[in-house]
A and B are shown apart, each in its own frame.
Chain A
């Protein structure tokens, strides 16, 4: 390609091409109901993607988000079953997810455990906690929770509620990354942690904080999943960490840290959701869909490294 494109432009061109191809493949694709469904998927996975973007920007990784999603869902269902009011349930689940993120952060930032190992361990442990809490089965939050299902399945002004939640998350995340000293510290730590330290940036605290944020957003996403599924399932959310990493990477966030951002992550979530949707519409089996998704990750990184080499 001889055309010099600004960074990230490739993603939006790919997205436009994907939409064009999708509308050609299936006449139902551009149907408003379908599009809103796609957007709901974008929101569900995108929230995780944003959390993962924070972590990857510091050159880290968080494999535990899928487990946190399941745990916070099971916890939420259990609390509602016990008669907790909805606001208290939401607060408890979010707090639990944040605490799990905090533990990841302590491990990576202060105990110097490699992020991959730390979050691999916590991924398995948290999955275990969920199974223990649900006693191996699923938890039905009961009749009291009917109002809660509005969070994941409801509409406001004709638009699914998760989209509002996702938009708010993106706005805040964008503001933090672009306009705060904390955001600057995240990029600094990810591009050169020694230079960051010598610049007086609190490297451990910054690293710690991104894992806490990621845990919080995973719990938020877990609550939305709970309200969609209407049961707390400790086996839900399997492989979601890979989904989140894929979204961030397709969105142009570099696995080597210091490069990327929220707008790319939104695009990444859209690409992934549209591909899943159009493959469904076209009647492609879920098994083949896996193959396609995997190939897309490799392709996205290949294009990215190609761009870097040209520079």
Chain B
């Protein structure tokens, strides 16, 4: 990066709050022409909020944004694009059935009178591809390209729109190593030769050193580090990312693990899992930590019977179990708290009672006929036990807060007499106070009902805060088992993130 280069982007004192969460507070950073700045932080640190502010999708509560020394009074997606800021999301916003040329010129295809000038569109696409050194056919359909190539198309699209500042959101999460190398070479070349400035969001630490000139570390919505990548090493970077005061965010607990209730040996599937072996005992809470795409969700869903393993075995209470569908999982005493509450967990338009009872209808019915009295009693008991805050059992679950919605899913599992609780990101999308309630609930369930809990989480502090043991996953493998009380965030992150 040339010294004293022109500043192209400046964020000053940016703050943004959501109900119950302060996502960003007083974040300041600047970007010079040709600079590659890594934006790192744990999940929930505020990276995606900051990115949405850069794209104009969110408007900050406080602070100012300057693009090319012009202060934006009314940031909006259109305003950011017009000023040359392009955000490339991990989930690419593309039209897969259209060709490369159509995607690149989407909404601004060259015209001849009223007709689209296809030869011109293809020629200009080919010219851009050649300039970038991409070997991509303008007439190819996007769906026929690899993810890496689709990403390149997206970058080409940004450049065609004269983007001078490109924000990349964890692009490497979906790429193979060779593709990552290719992407890095391109980013570096565009920065050095064309002066494009990049914000590169990632939580893979190795990439930060391989690519970035400068680094901003976000933690709990604050920029805790801003400096040159060359001043950092992995140890220091991890400390910046995770260093926080745990205080009494997590409940104190004492466990005496009982007999083994769940064991897997060499569990694999066709896409993600690679010979995952874990053991779970009665009354214990075991964490499953890994970065996005490590295979946590796949492991939990396979254990529950929602996905099919291609190899390996699962033993429940010492006997081999055949789990071919979720019903088998429930019959074996397993319960899954799915990753996405709204699309996989809840019947949003239905009542709290309906949601709590959906997995245990056979327990409140005889020959398929539901007993209104037993239904009412079961629902009441669960609402009381889990202190679900709802006006009534008949209220629509969509009107409850995130934390209380999550409790309804827990209540469903408890009502179905679940013995092994598989919780996938149990505190995702709930505010800080409700998090504590969910931790208390997990601890209480593990202690009083001798439930075995396997909890997948991408929030390291919570894994260390409430688990007895934890398994670290990386690229579909369980790479390490650690004692949650004897390890450190740095050690866990080393196994999860380093190659």
Contact = CB atoms under 8 A, between A and B. Distances in A.
B347 A258 contact: yes
Contact of A258 (B306, B329, B349, B361): B349
Contacts of B306: 197-198
Contacts of B358: 184, 188, 195-196, 199, 201
Nearest to B340: A194
Interface string B325-340: 1110111000010100
Nearest to B343: A194
Interface residues of B, number: 31
Interface stretch (B67-75, B223-231, B365-373, B462-470): B365-373
Contacts of A187: 347, 350, 354
Nearest to B365: A181
The 4 closest A-B pairs by CB, nearest first: A199-B359, A200-B330, A199-B358, A181-B361
B348 interface: yes
7 contacts: A181-B365, A194-B344, A197-B325, A197-B326, A198-B306, A199-B326, A258-B350
Between B329, B331, B348, B369, the greatest number of chain A beta carbons within 10 A of the residue's beta carbon is seen for: B369
A192 interface: yes
B445 interface: no
From DSSP, what is the main secondary structure of chain A's interface residues? helix
Contacts of B346: 192, 195
B368 A195 contact: no
B368 A181 contact: yes
Nearest to B357: A184
Contacts of A179: 369-370, 372
Contacts of B412: 199
Contacts of B357: 184
B349 A259 contact: yes
Interface of A: 179-182, 184-185, 187-188, 191-192, 194-202, 258-259
B461 interface: no
A191 B348 contact: yes
Given A198-B326, A199-B359, A180 B349 contact: no
Interface in B187-209: none
Interface in B390-426: 412, 416
A198 B336 contact: yes
Interface in B343-392: 343-350, 354, 357-359, 361-362, 365, 368-370, 372
Interface of B: 304, 306, 325-327, 329-331, 336, 338, 343-350, 354, 357-359, 361-362, 365, 368-370, 372, 412, 416
Nearest to A187: B350
A82 B167 CA distance: 78
Contacts of B362: 181
A191 B336 CA distance: 19
Contact of A198 (B344, B349, B369, B370): B344
A187 B412 CA distance: 16
Nearest to A184: B361
Given A191-B347, A194-B343, A199-B412, A180 B365 contact: yes
A184 B326 contact: no
| Chain A CB within 10 A, most for which of B304, B344, B361 | B361
Contacts of B348: 191-192
B59 to A, nearest CB: 24
A199 B357 CA distance: 9
Contacts of A194: 343-344
B370 A181 contact: yes
Contacts of B350: 187-188, 191, 258
Given A181-B361, A200-B330, A202-B327, A195 B344 contact: yes
A192 B416 CA distance: 19
B345 A200 contact: no
Contacts of B338: 195, 198
A196 B304 CA distance: 14
B370 A180 contact: yes
A309 to B, nearest CB: 14
A194 B347 CA distance: 10
A79 to B, nearest CB: 33
Nearest to B416: A200
Nearest to B304: A198
Nearest to A175: B369
Nearest to A259: B349
A182 B327 CA distance: 15
B344 A184 contact: no
A187 B338 CA distance: 20
B330 to A, nearest CB: 4
A181 B365 CA distance: 7
B368 A182 contact: yes
